[in-house]
Chain A
């Protein structure tokens, strides 16, 4: 995992008004032992982390927290987390027993994240990028209005600084507690993607387990290149909903990365071990302008 510490090329503007310097976020520290949920083998957590949370025995790709993901993808020592000032949202005053703001506060406490996305400036194979990584641990990676604003500002940042956009997607879909305002985020994120496309900048999305609903049906599926991790569950409606609605038995391998590859929906299914180099190769090709 040793990587040369390469300089960042492209326009850099550290004082850009969109982005305040990041807080001291640290990747979730590995401690103790972890068990592979595929084969049950136990690992020292630090070693599992070094394996990018992929089981060397059965190859199962475990969930990666957003910040750890950013660290995995960025050239070493180039990662700079960007924290946007985004106010707290509760458009409906949602309360179904537990008030929505206290659910958000609890998720923040637990994950140490501001919202679903971790946005960072970084270089990938020296190509300057904005990384937007979702964290499934933050209310199921759900897309609320603050998360939508994070993604849109990540797009603005990419446009302002001429960076490529790389989004790692994992989500249960729209955040129900924000009702119609969360539906609107599909439009907001799409507007961000359109801005990146108009600037002629590359956008690569990586679909990871699980990815559903309004996230798949907006920015996750709007990229120039859509990659998926092996055996990730990806779709629009959840399997349970489809089974109940159609009374059909779901085919084997339904809504997996491999299923989507076979149906022409994703460009490639890529092992996590070669994900970084695959993205780098594409980014270098797209930025060559030869």
Chain B
């Protein structure tokens, strides 16, 4: 095999992995809430401007523990995808998440975040209402929150728009998900000024969650059945549920000051790990 076909092969594998993560049959946030949680009451609106349906959340029972579950919802068909804006939040979505986190903190409820977004929404209104400011405040809120936080990446975690729900004490990810600094299309537009070179960007970016696991940003990969979570979504949700409960059991047994100190120390070193060779 010569060098150029080797490169082409690597790019094909990389972009196939991205496509697998984007399979519409993978479990979505509302499906996880429906199957893994009970007694959910959705709470809507950011109390400032509007209600962003790309982010859903509210208190629910996970096993025997009340938690605040907050997640990005991509939608499952043409209509719901439009309603949920393909899981791309506006500033209102992040501000809603912050509000729900503060409510959880007040009542001592752990927070569970379900990350499922290609990126934060890029648009005129989002910029006018301070997309960067909303994400920046979410990062501060999650660093300061005096209750345990567990996040899980379901399909795609892209850009600061994902990190704004993933700065947690424990970060889980379904094993075929991707977690990246930017979607390969955006990355190609930035690096090569050509979104069409997404395969080249994907091969270089190594977007799979295994990279985030190596670097230390993800703590546990949830195994998926072959050929992927879309084949047996409910099975995957059950595995995720077990892992969420296990991590919350561990975190809730600790003093909250210890949890906070560990969180601060962890993110002070964030990104110092090195990915295994490709």
- Residues of A at the B interface (CB closer than 8 Å) are 91-96, 145, 148-149, 152, 172-174, 176-188, 190-195, 213-214, 216-222, 235-237, 240-242, 244-246, 248, 250-251, 254-255, 259, 263-265
Of residues 177 through 222 on chain B, the ones whose CB sits less than 8 Å from some CB of chain A are 179-182, 186-187, 189-191, 195, 200-201, 204-207, 211-212, 215, 217
Separation of A245 and B140 alpha carbons in the complex (Å): 29
Bound together, the chains give a CA A219 to CA B160 distance in angstroms of 12
Q: Is B35 an interface residue (CB 8 A)?
A: no
CA distance A212 to B215 in the complex (A): 24
With a cutoff of 8 Å between Cβ atoms, the chain B residues found around residue A263 in the complex are 128-130
B235 at the A interface (CB under 8 A): no
CB atoms of A254 and B144 under 8 A apart: no
Contact at A236–B277, with CB atoms within 8 Å?
no
Does B123 sit at the interface, judged by CB under 8 A? yes
Question: Which residues of B are found within 8 Å of A95, using beta-carbon distances?
Answer: 204
**CB-based nearest B residue for A234:** B132
B61 on the A face (CB < 8 A): no
Contact (Cβ within 8 A) B182 A96:
no
Query: A172-B190, A181-B217, A251-B124 known; 4 other A-B pairs, CB under 8 Å?
Result: A176-B187, A178-B271, A182-B181, A190-B139
Tell me if B267 is interfacial: C-beta within 8 Å of chain A: yes
Q: Which of A181, A237, A259 contacts B131 (CB 8 A)?
A: A237
Are B207 and A176 in contact, with the CB atoms below 8 A? no
Give Cα distance in the complex from A244 to B123, angstroms: 10
Q: Which residues of A contact B167 (CB under 8 A)?
A: 187, 190
Inter-subunit contact B205/A176 (CB<8 Å) = yes
Contact A236 B124 (CB under 8 A): no
The 6 closest A-B pairs by CB, nearest first: A184-B271, A237-B122, A184-B270, A216-B132, A181-B271, A221-B136
Contact between A265 and B136, CB atoms less than 8 A apart: no
Q: A93-B278, A179-B207, A254-B127 are in contact. Are A188 and B267 (CB under 8 A)?
A: yes
Indicate if the CB atoms of A236 and B120 lie closer than 8 Å: yes
Bound complex: CA A96 to CA B162 (Å): 25
Complex contact B140–A222 (CB within 8 A): yes
Can you sample 23 A-B contacts with CB below 8 Å?
A91-B215, A145-B272, A174-B160, A176-B187, A176-B205, A177-B204, A180-B211, A184-B163, A184-B267, A184-B271, A188-B269, A190-B167, A191-B268, A192-B268, A194-B264, A214-B159, A219-B136, A221-B132, A221-B133, A241-B122, A242-B124, A248-B124, A259-B128
Given that A221-B133, A241-B122 are contacting pairs, would A145 and B140 also be in contact in the complex, using a CB cutoff of 8 Å? Answer: no
Contact B205 A191 (CB under 8 A): no
B204 touches A181 (CB 8 A): no
Q: Restricting to B23-64, which residues have a CB under 8 Å from any CB of A? A: none
**A183 and B131 form a contact (CB under 8 A):** no
- In residues 255-278 of chain B, which contact A (Cβ within 8 Å)? 264, 267-275, 277-278
Which residues of B are found within 8 Å of A93, using beta-carbon distances?
275, 277-278
Chain B residues in 8 Å Cβ range of A180 = 179-181, 207, 211-212, 215, 217, 271
Would you give the shortest CB distance from B218 to chain A, in whole angstroms? 9
| Cβ-defined contact, A92 with B267, below 8 A | no
Residues of B within 8 A of A190 (CB): 136, 139-140, 143, 167, 267
Contacts of B144 in A (CB 8 A): 194
Q: How far is the CA of A189 from the CA of B278 in the complex (A)?
A: 28
- Asked whether A250 and B267 contact (CB < 8 A) given A179-B207, A181-B215, A186-B160, the answer is no
